[in-house]
């Protein structure tokens, strides 16, 4: 009962901080002229979004970071005297949470550099692809090293299979998965409210899984993340008054990966992050098909959400359908985790 109230409180407080932050952050971003520049080859109707403030991701970044740190400290101190809290009391779950925050914040910092470059140059270009990848792999490797030093090992849990030791390949695969998912989440940000809504349901799914596994610290972390995303949607749902920018989307990418590793089942990123993956592979397929056919297109536009836009879907319909798909696959993943691991 106490943990349930604590988890609910984490979600509510994160929601309030994120939503209230918008009232102060958006006017500040407008005053600084930190507005979005729309690509020339994007949907023509997106031109009306020109100048909409970016870097709104700071709203949920602050909320998630503050609430997660406080809730984790409370978790550590339950039943203990804070003065007598030793480093030995900090268990693997706590290490995963703080290391996960590092991964999310590191990617958020990369996104901030990218956004700042766009704002200064007044064009929708930031860091080069190579620059981003180098920085993202650096963040991923640093995260993996932290886990290795903390003694987290090279094993992972696969539902219905059990614990699998991948040896040195664990580090290679982990780095590739992290960078891949981070960029997939980044590509999902292109329609008002889409990335925030998808990530809300992803966090809810992982929250249920963490709760089933009695990972109470991670459960509160997921709840805070979901609440913060919902608070951001107050300002970002169509018509958006602010965009999260790469600052926010790269942070969310790192966050989602870290949560998946914290529940020790990163393989569940495949079903839970189905929309992220579809967005990423739609771009890969589009580019590959374009090159192979010397100019022909597989989709009207990529990422895939723009294809549906070009087919006449409204932004609200895209967000609704993609969110429902995420919720369904999230529920399926929870069943897989329960019957394949917990039960």
Q: Check if the beta carbon of residue 235 is closer than 8 Å to that of residue 53.
A: no
Write down the pLDDT at residue 1: 62
pTM (two decimals): 0.94
- Residue in the block written with tokens 């966050």: 255
Share of the chain above pLDDT 90, in %: 76
**pLDDT digits 0-9 by tens, 89-132:** 467 888 999 999 999 999 999 999 999 988 876 655 678 899 99
**pLDDT digits 0-9 by tens, 275-313:** 999 999 999 999 999 999 988 999 999 999 999 999 999
């Amino acid at each position: 009962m106490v943990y349930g109230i604590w988890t609910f409180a984490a979600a509510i407080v994160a929601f309030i901080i994120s939503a209230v932050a918008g009232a102060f952050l958006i006017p500040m971003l407008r005053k600084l002229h930190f507005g979005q520049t729309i690509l020339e080859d994007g949907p023509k109707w997106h031109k009306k979004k020109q100048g909409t403030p970016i870097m709104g991701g700071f709203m949920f970044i602050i909320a998630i970071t503050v609430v997660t740190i406080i809730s984790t400290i409370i978790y550590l101190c339950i039943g203990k005297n804070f003065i007598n809290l030793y480093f030995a009391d900090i268990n693997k779950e706590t290490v995963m949470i703080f290391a996960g925050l590092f991964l999310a914040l590191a990617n958020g910092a990369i996104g901030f550099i990218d956004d700042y470059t766009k704002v200064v140059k007044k064009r929708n270009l930031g860091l080069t692809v190579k620059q981003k990848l180098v920085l993202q792999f650096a963040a991923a490797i640093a995260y993996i090293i932290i886990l290795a030093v903390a003694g987290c090992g090279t094993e992972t849990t696969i539902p219905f299979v059990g614990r699998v030791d991948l040896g040195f390949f664990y580090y290679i695969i982990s780095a590739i998965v992290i960078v891949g998912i981070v960029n997939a989440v980044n590509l999902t940000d292109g329609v008002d409210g889409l990335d925030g809504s998808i990530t809300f349901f992803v966090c809810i799914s992982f929250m249920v899984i963490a709760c089933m596994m009695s990972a109470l610290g991670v459960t509160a972390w997921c709840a805070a993340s979901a609440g913060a995303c919902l608070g951001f949607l107050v300002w970002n749902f169509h018509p958006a008054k602010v965009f999260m920018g790469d600052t926010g989307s790269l942070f969310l990418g790192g966050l989602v990966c870290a949560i998946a590793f914290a529940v020790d089942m990163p393989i569940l990123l495949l079903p839970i992050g189905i929309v992220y993956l579809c967005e990423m592979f739609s771009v890969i397929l589009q580019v590959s098909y374009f090159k192979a056919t010397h100019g022909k297109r597989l989709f009207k536009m990529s990422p895939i959400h723009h294809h549906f836009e070009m087919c006449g879907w409204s932004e609200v319909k895209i967000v609704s359908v993609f969110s429902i798909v995420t919720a369904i696959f999230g529920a399926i993943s929870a069943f897989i985790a329960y019957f394949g691991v917990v039960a």
